[in-house]
Chain A
């Protein structure tokens, strides 16, 4: 009957909000508006003059086969990272949920890669696959496969996928394990009494009950692959060889800072913002069902 009690104060709430709002306005909202504005301009690289060109930048973007290629690369990369990382994590989480003893030890041994920066993760794996001194490249050589991600685009893609997936395993593992441990024991026991073997139990009982976690992780992993892996790409392949590992986020950076195509880069930024917007809404749709705001 009584609403949440609150304080009454004329200016204090504004003072409390001010820092967060200032930072948000100056470093988030203003640049975003700027990006939207620039997306409608053509500017010479030195910023001496600019001209309003309506949707020309976007039209150019959509007509550019490179942009399409980059979109495909991003999708391949994201699908690879998501499938590899979620698959391995689910396997490990199911195993860790099953062992009676030592689950917490495994947890400790599996979660630390979360703390490794994407760029560092990329460098670790790049070193493993280094064509001259990398041990994986050496092992591949022994079985007759010559690995060189510096010239082979597919190999470069595989390398960044592995590095990105490796870093994300710990995150997925923790959430899968938490999801598994939240499934009531009695359900699994009931299924066992109904005669379901372990493998069948997993697919008919555990996996469906885990689907909210899986869906959540799917969205998180896609967001991660799209936006948080810039460091891996930049440190390992610089988008190459050629443009084989140029993801959308890397292309924004490359076209803007290296190519100095401000309008084109801004148009790409706008496209990415729309994409994040959609993903955020999807994510919050999911959260809404769990948490009451």
Chain B
């Protein structure tokens, strides 16, 4: 039962580099929060500040009602799963899991019981006597999880824990982490640069860029209504298409075309118009259309990605077409879209306008 509150958290390194520019975030009890962003965006620094591995330059951090700014990691009642697992190489799996409990002076019988129970949850029982070097990557990952779980902490912290696994194992462990967290009901903060991990694991996503939070929301909120062009471009694969446009009150002008967006904004001027590849259709069901020159086709099996240039304007464009698509002799194609699927941002401020 724990909530985590961050108020105006800032991080400035001794060399003057400002990694984090003031973050407010409240993680409610039992919530699974994923912090996602490109490398260098400050997400790891933020996680390490929550863990107590880095000092907080400014702001307040609380677990429940307790201010934790000055506390040692061990006093914060958190547990962390590291990117490279950080298992103690000379200790057995059992000793690795027991180490934190022993340091807290837990009685032997209690330690035994906790480790056995955790091992059972993670199916680690046959491995308890082994050393980390004798384990596979997936097994090490499990032990790292076990070491976090066994302490029954208030908050789990994950620092890109799956980045060292191969693709198949990563999917499997992803599901397992989610299941475990649900089952235990422990608040979790998870850092990753992988947007698929982020989308699938998170109750709420925090998208960071350049030391600031761009948007906080559920995965679907973020996918459907990205708050800034950065979020729009970062979440979703292939990335969202952007085209220039002009907004005249309700009306959006793209090239020769006028689209009635039904907006109530007063803004008039240049805008960025975004549309996701999957919202460009070949079927003529949607009201608006555009033409593109084809340059490349990537069949993915279920879908086909079609790359090309907008006929008017020459912007690069990607469309995700359902099913199989065979290019004929024609080198251009017509795509249809609905005004509901457009994302409109002010060109200067990046503010979302619809």
Contacts and interface: CB of A to CB of B under 8 A. Distances in A.
Contact of A5 (B40, B44, B45, B53): B53
A1 B40 contact: yes
Contacts of A1: 40, 44
Consensus secondary structure, chain A interface: loop
A71 B101 CA distance: 66
A2 interface: yes
Contacts, number: 7
B250 interface: no
Contacts of A5: 53
A19 B53 CA distance: 30
Nearest to B15: A3
B290 to A, nearest CB: 42
Interface residues of B, number: 6
Contacts of A2: 44-45, 48, 54
Interface residues of A, number: 3
Nearest to A8: B55
B86 to A, nearest CB: 11
Interface string B19-55: 0000000000000000000001000110010000110
A2 B39 CA distance: 13
Interface in B240-287: none
A263 B45 CA distance: 61
A1 B45 CA distance: 10
Nearest to A1: B40
A1 B54 CA distance: 13
A32 B53 CA distance: 43
A8 to B, nearest CB: 9
A70 B40 CA distance: 64
A63 B54 CA distance: 64
Nearest to B55: A8
Contacts of B40: 1
Contacts of B48: 2
A190 B54 CA distance: 53
A2 B43 CA distance: 12
Interface string B38-76: 001000110010000110000000000000000000000
Nearest to B40: A1
